[in-house]
Structure 1
Amino acid sequence: MDEYEKILSKQRLNKYIREQDNGNLILAINRYKWNIEISRAFYPALNIIEVSLRNRTHKAISSYLNDEKWLENFSVHEQKFKLPFSREKVVKAMQELTLKKKPIEEPRLIAELNFGFWTSFYDNRYEQMWRSKNGLALVFPNMFRRNRTRSKLSKTLNRIRDLRNRIFHYEPIFHWHDLDKHYDRITECASWISPKAKTLILNCDNFKEVMAKKPSV
């Protein structure tokens, strides 16, 4: 078992050890493997929600700014965003594309910017932007109008982002007792964007099947 500690680190394995294990590291390894299975099962849903959200959000902001290449022209619109985080992220994305010797084009910038960048546009500092031109309806046309508020969406998207970051940073989620609710939150949010987004998730994932096989860990 020392070899597992060498390749995974003792600090990481400690997150999977329980007092009742009585020093049996095999149980911790089993939990580690189960955590990988759960994380993998979330991937299709996280993939679809991230890609669809960034594309729809970009389109809505394009309408607000009347500029389909607002990322390429970010410096022109920078004062409207009032957030250094956004500028730094866009500059970094441009630098990454340059290092990869790829042209700085809007579709590439959209893909280069991470989920946190896109969810940040639902923070309260952008309330006025979303009120203009009924912007939220452009992103979430299938959400009930009375529920379609920036604050509700921000709360939902931040929860999805937190889960996404834990999974992609290989942190434990196996001990969470509400994983089904997290999954349902993602699929519901996808359905607000487009029913086909939710259908695509359901057609290519196996989350329910994986959870049905949950071992006693």
Structure 2
Amino acid sequence: MTSELPEWFQRVFSMPRFTPYLDVSGRNVTRAWQLYRWNVEVSEAFYGPLHCLEIGLRNAEHDQLHSRYGRADWWEVAPLRKHDACKIAKAQDDLRRRSGGSCTADDVLTELSFGFWVSLLSQAYDRHFWVPALHRAFPHYSGRRGELRDNLQAMVLLRNRIMHHEPIHHRHLAADHAKIYRLLGYLEPEVAPWLRRFDRVPEILARRPKGDHGDGQA
């Protein structure tokens, strides 16, 4: 079964990594090979939309919390949960270790993960963050906080799979793509037409390899 694969592929990428692609391709090496390459391409294409969503969310939330607490390093006085405060401390420690000195609020801001910003929409922060400030970060959203948080968390999971080079072909990627645009619209609708000019996801979704057994609905 492995004889049809180039020797370098087996050596560089490994058969254990390739096996899940074989499993959803009916053990057909050619189809699995095509699906593997397509998974790389579609993962690359999602980088742009996810980039816009992560950066947009980060800046929108930061602006509101900066305003609420009257300082750029609002995390120094905000009532963060221990888990989130530890993320701030780690970001500061990493920055100081790399620079050999102090770090600015902007430095910390860019060090924090997508997941950190989504965690600020948790129910635990309703009273301190969502009600007085963070709902304003989404001026075009009128739904429930919990639903918004769940949709953003789904995008964190997608982003993490892509960044860790995991399969995403089994997901309902067209729905994921639409969700990113919907979430961006809650932040700033004018981002969408700009992003669509260079967004390659629709093109790559349209040429998904035929014959794999994944239903793309996960």
TM-score range, shorter chain: 0.7 to 0.9
Partner of 1:205: 199
Pair 1:92 & 2:90 matched: yes
Q: Look up the match of 1:140.
A: 138
Q: Aligned-pair distance for 1:156?
A: 0.9
In the TM superposition, residue 198 of structure 1 has moved relative to its aligned partner by: 2.1
Matched, 1:3 2:11: no
Aligned to 2:132, what secondary structure does the other structure show? helix
Runs of 4+ in 1 over 6 A off after TM superposition: none
Identical-residue share of aligned pairs (%): 27
Work out the CA distance in 1 between the residues paired with 2:51 and 2:25.
36
Give 1:1-217 correspondences, 5 Å limit. Answer: 1=5, 2-18=7-23, 21-22=26-27, 24-71=28-75, 74=76, 76-77=77-78, 80-81=79-80, 83-101=81-99, 103-137=102-136, 139-143=137-141, 145=142, 147=143, 149-176=144-171, 178-216=172-210, 217=212
Structure 1 residues 183 and 7: alpha-carbon distance in aligned structure 2, compared to 1, 3 A threshold: same
Local SS of the residue matching 1:11:
helix
Q: Where do 5+ consecutive residues of structure 1 fail to align?
A: none
TM-score with structure 2 length normalisation?
0.86
Partner Cα separation in structure 2 for residue 88 and residue 166 of structure 1: 23
The TM-score normalised by the length of structure 1 is 0.86
Quick one: which amino acid aligns to residue 157 of structure 2?
D
Gap regions ≥5 residues in structure 2: 213-218
Q: How far does the alpha carbon of each residue in 1:166-204 deviate from its partner, in whole angstroms, 9 at most, with x for none?
A: 11111111122x211110000110011001222332122
CA distance in structure 2 between the partners assigned to 1:20 and 1:112 by the alignment: 39
| Deviation of the 1:41 alpha carbon | 1.4
Distance 1:192 1:33 in 2: 33
Count of residues paired in the alignment: 205
- Of Structure 1 and Structure 2, the greater helix share is in 1
**Separation in structure 2 between the aligned mates of residue 175 and residue 98 of structure 1, nearest angstrom:** 40
1:189 maps to amino acid: L
Instruction: Provide closer, same or farther for how the CA distance between residues 212 and 19 of structure 1 changes in structure 2, counting only shifts above 3 A.
Output: closer
Residues 119 and 154, structure 1, Cα contact 8 Å, conserved in 2: yes
- 1:129/1:135 contact within 8 Å kept: no
1:41 to 1:20, Cα distance in 2 relative to 1, 3 A: closer
- The 3-state SS of whatever aligns with 1:159 is helix
- Counterpart amino acid of 1:171? E
| Cα offset, 1:3, TM superposition | 3.3
Whether the aligned pair in 1 keeps the contact of 2:68 and 2:133 (CA below 8 Å) is no
Shift of 1:27: 3.0
1:41 alignment partner AA:
A
Residues 94 and 104 of structure 1 are in contact (CA less than 8 Å); yes or no, is this contact kept in structure 2?
Answer: yes
RMSD between aligned residues = 1.9
